[in-house]
Amino acid sequence: MPLDEPRADDNSTADLTAVIRLRRRQLWTRRLSVIGAVVALLALVAVAWFSPVLRLDQVTVSGSRLVAAGDVERFVLAEHGGTPLPQVRPGTVESEVLERFPRADEVSVHYSGPRSLSLEITDRQPVLAVAGEGGFELFDPDAVHLGTVEKAPAGLTVLEDTKGPPAKETVAAVIRFMAELSPELRSQLHTISAVNSNSLQGTIEAGETKANVVFGDSTGASLKLETAVQLAEAGRTSIDVSVPSVPVTN
């Protein structure tokens, strides 16, 4: 004889309903807690974004010898002073400073307080000093003028003043030549001169030997100077490497 199917009484049904309601209540409580936390966070962000309490009013600059720190500080404050700090984008400030101050090679911007920024500037490095009446003009590998100094920095190759100040095309050719050289090779080229962009020549020092070298144009600078240094180390003092594959010595 088959058994009757079990039947849930009214109490068991009521218990199940209560459990479902409790779980729904707990779920909604968690959801409301999360929503409340998100709303509170957004409110804090909105306050920080617009709050005058966090407005930028101080900028410090370090690291540069070619760019005046005071000029950079005044420029940044003129562009962004009074703006709530969360609205000031470091990348934007970096781009603006590089455009305004071409002697800077790199700029790193950091938040340094609730109302301040700190900037660290890396200068462009000169590869050539051009002799003139007012001193020595410094240029980097991109032909950016880095200022004029009374005395050429130690170890920096000097473009000598021959028959008056060189033309811009000549200076550009010399800078291209210098830019191709490694720092080690560059340090062995003591002076360089040129009447025009195709007549580069200079003096090199290899050990105890000082040699006069004709380079010709600005192409193949590394190969030309490496060849000249090898010949100078062999005792040659007058070298023509305008065609480096067929050097000429006297």
**What are the domain boundaries of the chain?**
52-123, 128-249
Residue found by looking up tokens 């603006």 in the block: 96
Q: What angle, 0 to 180 degrees and rounded to 10, lies between the N-to-C axes of helices 221-233 and 168-180?
A: 70
Cβ(93)–Cβ(76) under 8 Å?
yes
Q: Which of 28-32, 162-166, 231-235, 243-247 has the lowest mean pLDDT?
A: 162-166
Model-level pTM greater than 0.85?
A: no
Residues 91-112 have a mean pLDDT of: 94
pLDDT-based confidence at residue 171 (cuts at 50, 70, 90): confident
Beta carbons of 86 and 53 less than 8 angstroms apart? no
58, pLDDT greater than 80: yes
* Contact present, 84 and 54 (Cβ < 8 Å): yes
Indicate the pairing of strand 128-132 with strand 145-149. Answer: unpaired
Given a cut of 90, is residue 213 above it in pLDDT? yes
Q: How does pLDDT run across 30-49, given as a tens digit for each residue?
A: 776 777 666 656 555 555 45
Fold of 128-249: Rossmann fold (3.40.50)
Per-residue pLDDT, 78: 95
Q: Say which CATH topology domain 52-123 has.
A: Ubiquitin-like (UB roll) (3.10.20)
